[in-house]
Structures are given as C-alpha cells and as structure tokens.
Amino acid sequence: MRGIRRTAALPAAPESDVVHVAPPTGEAETDRASILAALERVQQGGTVQFAPGTYLIGEIIRVPTPRLTLLGHPDGTTLRGCEPDEYAASQGDAARATDYAGRSAALRTSPLWAST
C-alpha cells in the first residue's frame, strides 16, 4: 500500500511492571549493586529502566528473570564492563536477544548479560 509505513515497536509496559535503576555513579561496585537490585525486583515480562549516563558494571551480570525488557534512557545509557571495549550503549533502536529485549541497546564485544 502506498503512503503507509508500518513500524514495529516494543509495547510499553504498565508503570507497575517497570523497575528503575538508580542513576550511575561511575563507581563499579555502586553501579553494579544498583543494577542487581533492580534485576532482583523486576518480575518476568517486566521492564528495567536505566537512567541516562554510564554505568560501570565490572563483570558479566547474570540475569535471573526471563523475558525482560532492558530500556535505556532517551538521552543515552551506556553499560561498561571492566575493559574499555566491553560495553553496551543505549540510544534509540530496539534489539531483542533470546529471552531479553533491550530498547536503545547495542552490545559490543564480550557479553555483559548472561541468563541463569
């Protein structure tokens, strides 16, 4: 059909299904603890919403809950591992992995997330 553009988007989660991660501090222990706390609170099918900025996570984070949406902030969210080239950047497009969806996320080099 002419003049009609179809786009796919992840459906918005009800606010009660959204767990917000505290803003990044630039300290690996604190940022990692904030992310882990959010991952422990979110329910299956829920959304983990990141604040803008760069989170230092130090090492791979094991995600205990399947079928999550990891949502970066529209102003940009970066997840950095312990090496300069281990990070995921978040800024606008939707991406899906096996059991996780990340809006505005791009994974670079080594995996930062692992399912249990």
pLDDT tens-digit readout, 54-106: 898 888 788 888 888 888 888 888 888 766 555 454 443 333 333 344 444 43
Of 11-20, 21-30, 75-84, 107-116, which gets the smallest average pLDDT?
107-116
State yes or no: pLDDT of 107 exceeds 70. Answer: no
Q: With CA atoms as reference, report the closest residue to 47 among 60, 38, 56.
A: 38
pLDDT at 42: 92
Give start and end residues of each alpha helix (H) in the chain: 28-41
Q: With CA atoms as reference, report the closest residue to 96 among 6, 5, 10.
A: 10
Backbone torsions φ then ψ of 35, nearest 5 degrees: -65, -45
Spans of all domains in the chain? 17-115
Angular region, 39: left φ>0, alpha ψ -120 to 50, beta rest: alpha
Q: Is the pTM of this model over 0.85?
A: no
